[in-house]
Amino acid sequence: MQDAVNVDDFRRIARRRLPRPVFDTLEGGAGDEYSLRGNRSAFDHIEFRPRPLADVSKRDLSTSVFGEKHALPIMLAPTGAGRLAHSSAELAVARAAARADAVYMQSTVAAFPPEQVAEASTGKLWFQLYLPRARDETADLLRRIESAGYRALSVTIDAPVFGNRERDARSRLLSRAPWHPQMLAHGIARPAWALDFVRGNFGPRRPGGKQRLTLGQTRSTIMNSSYSVTWEDLDHVRSVWKGPLMVKGLMRGDECARLADAGVDGVVVSNHGGRQLDGVPATVDVLPEVVDAAAGRLAVFLDGGVRRGNDVVKALCLGASGVFVGRPYLYGLAVGGEDGVYRVIELLRAELDRAMALLGAATVADLDRTLVSGARIPPTLSPSKG
């Protein structure tokens, strides 16, 4: 792990360490993976235009979101499959995020229940919500989340059904039992991973709590054909949840005014890491449209394809209030548990700091659209940050 100097190195090590179907579950996208690739390659179409002669001798990476100061504009996105990478899963991720003073948004379908993760962490936790199918359970769930100490809530709106993940369909990882001969063969070929997986399922690190959902259940209980999040659902959530409320999975600007009117405080421009509707544009290409439409009434976050501190800088220049990463910390988790996640955040932090210095920006507030160029960036120069 010490040899890894960037996120891609972590990816390569994770690929060697994990059984192929497990790596594919974390790595893969939907359909032809057009949107998965696009998220990444779109960053290559944005270039920096450094501002010379700025005093960057002291840099400050902190940022303010929903009235709270954060040490970093880099946040950890919700992922429901962490336990495939490491038995400590969300416990390790939350601890690493706390050490790095980064926000961690926990998934509804995490292995460990929200209370257990909150107990393990001294950091800032946000919660990602898939609405329970029995909508009358929503208020109870939100009260649990609030009393566990989660400070902000994000409702995922891009997953009415499960995306067409063909890598998973091929490997049948999610439907095969661990004792299936092919799964056993994978385990024998990756004994360190297999031992950790067994320990996580049967040993002391086994998650407790009665409301836990397993990965296999995700398909049937949450993202099924009867799961939709509607405006009425949002109104209900807003009436129960008093803290900052976001929606995650917005890919167009024209809904922003209505979301703000509905009392939503922020949006995450996201295509679920290319795992849901294949064929949607790259998130960073949609970001300026959403930032302009939000017109300062909503905080706008981005995720998808961020693998470098430089990508974070580009998104911030285009008006993002913060940037989430998903797979990068999962690679860290697979490679080194809590320490691996921490190291990934620190690598991104160092790259962010260096890029800001070279660009001529001493603070996050100094980052604006004049510092980037690219054919896909609209010419508007809005004050941006929400």
Ligand X SMILES: Cc1cc2nc3c(=O)[nH]c(=O)nc-3n(C[C@H](O)[C@H](O)[C@H](O)COP(=O)(O)O)c2cc1C
> Catalytic residue positions?
272
Residue range at the interface with ligand X (CB under 6 A); choices 51-59, 63-71, 271-279, 374-382: 271-279
Is 306 one of the binding residues for ligand X (CB under 6 A)? yes
How do 47-48 and 372-373 pair as beta strands? antiparallel
Residue 58: what residue type? K
Question: Could you say which residues in the range 94-113 bind ligand X, by CB under 6 A?
Answer: 107, 109
Residue with tokens 């509804």: 108
- The answer to whether the beta carbons of residues 314 and 284 sit under 8 Å apart is yes
Out of 70, 190, 205, 272, the residue judged to bind ligand X by CB under 6 A:
272
For the record, the structure tokens of 16 come out as 């060697």
215 versus 295: smaller Cβ distance to ligand X: 215
Is 80 one of the binding residues for ligand X (CB under 6 A)? yes
Residue range at the interface with ligand X (CB under 6 A); choices 51-59, 324-332, 338-346, 368-376: 324-332
Helix 309-317 to helix 283-294 angle (10° resolution) is 30
265 versus 368: smaller Cβ distance to ligand X: 265
81 versus 131: smaller Cβ distance to ligand X: 81
Is 128 one of the binding residues for ligand X (CB under 6 A)? yes
Within the chain, residue ranges assigned H as helices are 7-17, 20-27, 34-42, 82-85, 89-100, 114-120, 138-148, 166-171, 181-189, 191-202, 215-217, 231-240, 256-261, 283-294, 309-317, 327-359
State the minimum distance, in angstroms, from the CB of residue 56 to ligand X. Answer: 28
126 versus 342: smaller Cβ distance to ligand X: 126
First to last CA, the chain: 37
Out of 72, 81, 250, 372, the residue judged to bind ligand X by CB under 6 A:
81
Is 79 one of the binding residues for ligand X (CB under 6 A)? yes
Residue range at the interface with ligand X (CB under 6 A); choices 42-50, 321-329, 349-357, 372-380: 321-329
Rounded to the nearest 10°, the torsion over CA 231, 233, 238, 239 is 120
| Contact residues: ligand X, CB under 6 A | 26, 39, 77-81, 107, 109, 128, 156, 248, 270, 272-273, 275, 303-306, 325-327
